[in-house]
């Protein structure tokens, strides 16, 4: 089959690879019809995630058709059209039993601090991902769902991560009616988080980024106020000014490890790999909120330490909520929101990249060319 493979930092290509096989009785093999590139893939692409092996196939946002099932699979049949949450999870470990699918303890031998994720290095379990023609889907009875008839493919693929994560991120903000919510990062995750904050009753939603085309999307898609942080000498101070010196009630970090805005922080993490991630946005969040506020962290950071301003967080009495999103838990309610038109994930899609052009796709998304917000990957046979 054809598959995207990693060839080292900033280098990927499409090559011929063996089709995945059933390795466990509850595995399925899914023929991928649509995949996507996530902001998280950029951390791998830039070589920031330890134990990212040459030859690894990325891709954790996947929809497709069931092609083969293992002997114990009961809930899926060959031919079913399925959407696959980015988390690989067993359903019954201590964590899964309590709904923490992203923290499953039965799928990632390489690390206990993170669960299993498709195509996301060996640090999340060493599974090849879905930017390929076929993908192995472990625990087929637990993870995937049949795509509802009314749902468009582009909505479905975005519900496997970005949309679910943004919605989850807003929930972790513990928003109450009238809260001022500031979202850092206007990528797909941040845009959905901003829209979701309104669903939870926010009184004001502010989105911060430095890419004008994304801020424009924040105004149209998420009805948010926007700030381009490069236009202000000090974005933290600006947040204080605009909230009558109180600070925001809630901040959501939808930037993560590659945050810009501080050259030293960015270069020591993204380029030199000396810290787990550049916490510029997280530090801005900590300093922009009022005392006693809540910060929700959706941005992903590597397992090494990062230079976080923890003293300010402590002295301000902040509550910090974090996690990889347990995607499937969001679905029933999210499906209603999509069906009612409250959330329109497919509006985030800007590029459809043929699998054979994967290197250009990664470059466009990484260098933020051509107004890119969300690139989809279309396998050759789809």
Nearer to Zn ion, 44 or 307 (CB): 44
Least separation in angstroms between CB 88 and ligand NAD: 13
**Residues touching other proteins: how many (CB under 8 A)?**
118
Q: Which of residues 189-218 bind other proteins (CB under 8 A)?
A: 196, 198-201, 203-204, 210-212
Nearer to ligand NAD, 64 or 85 (CB): 85
| DSSP of 229-276 | GGGSS-HHHHHHHHTTTS-EEEEEE---TB--S-HHHHIIIIIT--SS
Least separation in angstroms between CB 105 and Zn ion: 6
Q: Could you say whether residue 236 binds other proteins (CB under 8 A)? A: no
Q: Given the rule CB under 6 A, which residues bind ligand NAD? A: 38-40, 42-43, 161-162, 165, 184-190, 208-211, 214, 229, 254-257, 259-261, 280-281, 298-300, 324-325
Least separation in angstroms between CB 350 and other proteins: 11
The stretches of the chain forming alpha helices (DSSP H) are: 39-45, 94-97, 153-159, 162-171, 188-199, 212-220, 235-242, 263-266, 280-288, 310-315, 327-339, 358-366
Residues 6+ apart with CB under 8 A from 92: 106
Select the binding partner of residue 256 from Zn ion, other proteins, ligand NAD, none (C-beta < 5 to 8 A, by kind): ligand NAD
User: What binding mask, one character per residue, do residues 147-176 give for Zn ion by CB under 5 A, x or -?
Assistant: --------------x---------------
User: What binding mask, one character per residue, do residues 60-79 give for other proteins by CB under 8 A, x or -?
Assistant: ------------x-xx----
CA–CA distance from 180 to each of 12, 86, 287, 349 (Å)? Answer: 41, 30, 15, 28
Residues 6+ apart with CB under 8 A from 260: 210, 266, 278, 280
Among 62, 90, 313, 377, binds Zn ion (CB under 5 A): 90
238: exposed, middle or buried (C-beta count within 10 Å: 0-12, 13-18, 19+)?
middle
């Amino acid at each position: 089959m054809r598959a995207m493979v990693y060839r080292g930092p900033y280098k990927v290509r499409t090559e011929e690879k063996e089709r995945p096989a059933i390795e466990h009785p509850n595995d399925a093999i899914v023929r991928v019809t649509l995949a996507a590139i996530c902001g998280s893939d950029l951390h791998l692409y830039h070589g920031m995630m330890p134990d990212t092996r040459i030859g690894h196939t990325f891709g954790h946002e996947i929809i497709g058709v069931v092609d083969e099932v293992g002997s114990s699979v009961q809930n899926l049949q060959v031919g079913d059209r399925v959407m696959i949450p980015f988390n690989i999870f067993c359903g019954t470990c201590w964590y899964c039993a309590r709904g923490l699918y992203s923290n499953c303890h039965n799928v990632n031998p390489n690390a206990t601090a993170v669960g299993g994720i498709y195509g996301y290095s060996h640090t999340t379990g060493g599974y090849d991902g879905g930017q390929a023609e076929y993908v192995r889907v472990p625990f087929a009875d637990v993870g995937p769902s049949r795509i509802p008839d009314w749902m468009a493919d582009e909505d479905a693929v975005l519900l496997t991560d970005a949309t679910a994560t943004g919605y989850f991120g807003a929930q972790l903000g513990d928003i109450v009616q009238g809260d001022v919510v500031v979202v850092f990062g206007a990528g797909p995750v941040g845009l959905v988080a901003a829209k979701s904050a309104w669903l939870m009753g926010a009184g004001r939603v502010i989105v911060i980024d430095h890419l004008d085309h994304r801020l424009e999307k924040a105004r149209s898609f998420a009805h948010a106020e926007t700030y381009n942080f490069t236009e202000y000498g000090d974005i933290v101070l600006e947040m204080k000014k605009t909230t009558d010196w109180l600070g925001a009630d809630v901040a959501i970090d939808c930037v993560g490890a590659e945050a810009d805005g501080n050259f030293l922080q960015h270069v020591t993490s993204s380029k030199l790999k000396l810290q787990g991630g550049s916490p510029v946005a997280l530090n801005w969040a900590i300093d922009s909120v009022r005392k006693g506020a809540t910060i929700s962290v959706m941005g992903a950071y590597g397992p090494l330490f990062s230079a976080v301003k923890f003293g300010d967080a402590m002295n301000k009495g902040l509550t910090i909520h974090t996690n990889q999103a347990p995607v499937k838990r969001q679905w029933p309610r999210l499906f209603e929101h999509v069906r009612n038109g409250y959330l329109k994930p497919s509006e985030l899609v800007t590029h459809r990249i043929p699998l054979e052009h994967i290197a250009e796709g990664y470059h466009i998304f990484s260098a933020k060319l051509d107004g890119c917000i969300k690139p989809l990957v279309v396998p050759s046979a789809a």
